[in-house]
Amino acid sequence: MSTIAFIGLGNMGLPMAKNLAKAGHRVIGVDVSEANLAAAAEAGLERGASAGDAAAEADVVVTMLPAGPHVRGVYLGEGGVVARAKPGTLFIDSSTVDVETARAVETAATGKGFLMLDAPVSGGVGGAAAGTLTFMVGGSDAAFEKAKPVLEAMGKTIVHAGGPGTGQAAKICNNMVLGISMAAVSEAFALADKLGLDRQKLFDISSKSSGQCWALTSYCPVPGPVPTSPANRDYQPGFAVDMMLKDLKLAQQAAHAAGAATPLGAQAAALYQMLSSSGRGNLDFSAIFTMLRGA
C-alpha cells in the first residue's frame, strides 16, 4: 500500500480520497479551505500542513483542483510538489484543466525525473462517492502501469488515452459532444412544444429513431420521460451550467491553439454563457431547455 498526498478535498476530491483510504492506502489530505479539511479529518484522513509537506512524505500525489492556475501553482510554485517530492514519486492530476497546462506541468515534472499523468474524470460527485468514475489518462506507459491500482480504487473504467495531455483532450472532446447534443435535444423539445407535439410522444419516437442520444434518453431536459433527470427537480445539478461552460471554453481554447474548426462547439459555448449570464449558472446544464423555450 502507498502513502498518498491528496491535494484538493472539494466535492470530488474528498470522496475520492476516502475511497483511497478505504482501499488501505495512507492518505494525507491538503486543502486551502479549513471547512474541507475539517470534513476530511472527520472522515479519518490525515492532515498535511501544505502540498509540499504532504508530497515530501508520499509515494503518489493526487490533485483534484478547480482549474489550470491552481494546478500550476501546486506543482510548480515555490515549495510546491515538484520541489519537495521524493525521487520516483508518481503525480496524478485529476482536475479538468487546459491541455497546455497539463503538458507544461508534465514536462516540468518528468524533466526532474518524476512520473506524471493527466487523469481527468467523468461520473460526477455520485461516481466519486461510489468509486465508479471513468478516468481518461494521458502520459507514459510506465506512469500508467504504476497508477493503475491507485486509479482502480477510485474508478471503474480506466482508459489510457495516449501521451501527455490526451486525457484532458478526451475530456473536453467528450464534453463538447455533450454540450452540443443537450442544446440540440432541448431545441427539438422547444420546437415540438410550439408545433403541438406532445413531449412524451417526441421522446418515445426519437429515443427509438436516429435522434437517439445520451442527452435524450439518460438525461432528458424536459420533466417526465426520464424520472431521474434533473429536469424533474427544477434543474438542481447534476452537472452545473458553469461547469459545462468551463469545459466548453477549454475546448474552444484548445481548438484555437490547434487550428481545429469547431463551429458548433463555439455556438454551444455562447449559449451556455448566455444561460450563465442570465443567473442560471448554478442550475443543471440541461436547463438550457428553459432558455431555448423562452422562459
CB of 145 vs ligand NAD, minimal distance in Å:
24
Segment interacting with ligand NAD (CB under 6 A) among 69-77, 157-165, 215-223, 226-234: 69-77
User: Residues touching ligand NAD: how many (CB under 6 A)?
Assistant: 27
Residue ranges in 235-274 that form contacts with ligand NAD under rule CB under 6 A: 239, 243
CB of 194 vs ligand NAD, minimal distance in Å:
33
SS3 of the chain: helix, strand, coil, percent, to 5: 55, 15, 30
Does residue 31 interact with ligand NAD by CB under 6 A? yes
Segment interacting with ligand NAD (CB under 6 A) among 60-68, 145-153, 176-184, 256-264: 60-68
Q: What single-letter DSSP state applies at residue 86?
A: P
Hey, CA dihedral for 201, 207, 208, 210, is it positive or negative? positive
Does residue 164 interact with ligand NAD by CB under 6 A? no
CB of 133 vs ligand NAD, minimal distance in Å:
8
- CB half-sphere exposure, 99, CA atoms < 13 A: 25
Asked if residue 224 lies in contact with residue 282, where contact means CB atoms within 8 angstroms, the answer is: no
Record the cell numbers describing residue 31, joined without a space. Answer: 486543502
Query: For residues 72 and 199, which CB has a smaller minimum distance to ligand NAD in the complex?
Result: 72
| Given the residues 18, 86, 148, 171, the one annotated as active site | 171
Q: Which listed residue (70, 84, 146, 280) binds ligand NAD by CB under 6 A?
A: 70
Lay out the site mask for ligand NAD across 202-241 (x = CB under 6 A, - = otherwise): -------------------------------------x--
Lay out the site mask for ligand NAD across 86-125 (x = CB under 6 A, - = otherwise): ---------xx------------------------x--xx
Crossing angle (nearest 10°) for helices 199-206 and 166-195: 130
Q: 200-220 burial string, b = 16+ CB within 10 Å, else e?
A: eebbeebeeeebebebbbebb
> Is residue 156 flagged as an active site residue?
no
Segment interacting with ligand NAD (CB under 6 A) among 19-27, 58-66, 109-117, 201-209: 58-66
- Cβ neighbour number for residue 293 with a 10 Å cutoff: 16
- Angle, CA of 43, 155 and 181, to the nearest 5°: 115
CB of 272 vs ligand NAD, minimal distance in Å:
14
Q: Which listed residue (18, 19, 25, 36) binds ligand NAD by CB under 6 A?
A: 36
Give the integer Cα–Cα distance in Å for 274 and 256: 21
- Grid cell 451556455 in the structure block, residue: 272
Q: Which listed residue (33, 107, 228, 277) binds ligand NAD by CB under 6 A?
A: 33
Does residue 163 interact with ligand NAD by CB under 6 A? no
Q: Which listed residue (4, 5, 9, 202) binds ligand NAD by CB under 6 A?
A: 9
Distances (CA, A) of 246 to 92, 158, 175: 21, 23, 10
Q: What single-letter DSSP state applies at residue 240?
A: B
Cis peptide bond N-terminal to 238, omega within 30: yes
Q: Which of 39, 45, 38, 42 is nearest to 62 (CA)?
A: 45
Does residue 74 interact with ligand NAD by CB under 6 A? yes
Residues acting as catalytic residues: 171
What residue ranges bind ligand NAD (CB under 6 A)? 7-13, 30-33, 36, 51, 64-67, 70, 73-74, 95-96, 121, 124-125, 239, 243
